[in-house]
Chain A
Amino acid sequence: MRDDSVIIKTLGLKKYYKGESIKALDDVNLEIKRGEVVVIIGPSGSGKSTYLRSLNLLELPTDGAIIFNGVDVADKNVDINIHRQKMGMVFQHFNLFPHKTVLGNMTLAPMKLLKKTKEEATEKAMTLLKRVGLEDRADSYPSQLSGGQKQRIAIVRALCMEPDVMLFDEPTSALDPEMVGEVLELMKQLADEGMTMVVVTHEMGFAREVADRVIFMCDGKIAEEGTPEEIFSNPKNPRTKQFLDSIL
């Protein structure tokens, strides 16, 4: 049975290191619906990054299934490269390509993978750049940009592939405080437009305001999940309470 309203579903997802001595993911089951914004929170080492990176197989799961658009991408016979095109990813450290201009960063994958012409790719990129107010930086190199600008470029670079879902791993953690806002604002806009988003972040304000659902992870497991209201105002699991007390 295929449910089209579900875009990603993980079943019994496990990731072990060093035999079974480190269980970074320990049986994670989660369903993410189209258009949903899921924010994952939790203490350091709880498996948030591992989970996010497993979704597009940057980490290979030890066991379990990852159903994306109806296909188990964890199956070793599936060509993951096709599916990754539909999952945009934004990293803590931006990972822009330093040898390419902003425009070059944004048009590379659409031209090589989607076989767009240079004109088509450039047009799409410029539209997105205008949207984030960085069209005058099209010919700049990444090293000439501020952190906030880099991260916004990284986001629109991913958007150039017209993904079905966007994955964010602590997108504002490497930024100076005064630049956090501009990145969160762009992410909020994306959410408002209906983009499906999975966001690992320590920005509780963002989670409260933008998330449809908040997942609290602990020791490689989902310890609690619910609406922001439920998690932040009325946590049931003592571990959640303890975590929220420690950071707020």
Chain B
Amino acid sequence: MKEFFQDFKDEFILNFVDGNMWKWLVDGLKNTLIITLFSLIIGVAIGIVVASIRSTFDKNREVYKRRGGWFYYVQWCLNALAQVYLTVIRGTPVVVQLLIAYFIIFASSRNGVAIAVFAFGLNSGAYVAEIFRGGIMSIDNGQFEAGRSLGFNYFQTMIYIVIPQVIKAVLPTLCNEFIVLIKETSVAGYVGIMDLTKAGELIRGRTFSAFMPLIAVALIYLVVVVVLTELVKILERRLRVNER
């Protein structure tokens, strides 16, 4: 028993204390969180735009067609572009997208974190778009009609009446997307970014001992995810209370 603890202690010192390698994990976690946060911000921005284009086209198809002219064709083209974006992004693995971003699109840049934010942001935009579109679709059509019948135009109706309800409805799902993204960014190491996973790998490569660094990495992910999941639950409960 005593031996076991001595072994454990030695291993711990070897993997984390020597050469201050615990700092790698801290830096890795920092990168993981930065990539995740900024990716989600980009994802939400793209998602709102894409979802708006898609549902605007769906809801106003008849009106625009009747009006005719260029506005309908602009809408049609935007909608087609959005469709292509959604199909391509959701139809290919995120690692492949990351590799393409790193080695082809930004081949001349070596700012890995920025490229990862771009790739993961573009990727999550597609999923966030569908979350928002689902949110918009879930709002009763009577809400649109009530807004329009008071004299609001389509965009005012969206801004004052629909979007506030959509945000409330999708906020927990968005937070869950953040949690999913934390885990998804663990492939960032493929392009040499030192995120949390990669930090564990580097330590393992240095010490030739797999158990400690990998279990440590897993535990850190787990703690972050569990804490955030609990926070989302609290948020959900508060949103429901506000509904009264």
Contact = CB atoms under 8 A, between A and B. Distances in A.
B146 A91 contact: yes
A56 B151 CA distance: 10
A95 B151 contact: no
A109 B244 contact: no
Given A95-B142, A99-B164, A108-B160, A161 B66 contact: no
Interface string B127-159: 000000000000010110110111111001000
B2 interface: no
Given A95-B145, A161-B151, A143 B63 contact: no
Contacts of A82: 151
Nearest 6 CB-CB pairings of A with B: A85-B151, A95-B146, A89-B149, A95-B142, A109-B150, A84-B151
A147 B164 CA distance: 24
A20 B160 CA distance: 37
B67 interface: yes
Interface residues of B, number: 23
A113 B146 contact: no
A58 B149 contact: yes
Contacts of B142: 91, 93, 95
A157 B149 CA distance: 11
Interface in A117-167: 141, 143-144, 157-158, 161
Contacts of A56: 149
Contacts, number: 67
Given A81-B153, A109-B152, A161-B151, A97 B145 contact: no
A95 B66 contact: no
B149 A143 contact: no
A99 B151 contact: no
Contacts of A89: 145-146, 149
B66 A76 contact: yes
5 contacts: A93-B140, A97-B161, A113-B151, A141-B243, A158-B149
A109 B150 CA distance: 7
Interface in B164-206: 164-165, 168
Interface string A183-221: 000000000000000000000000000000000000000
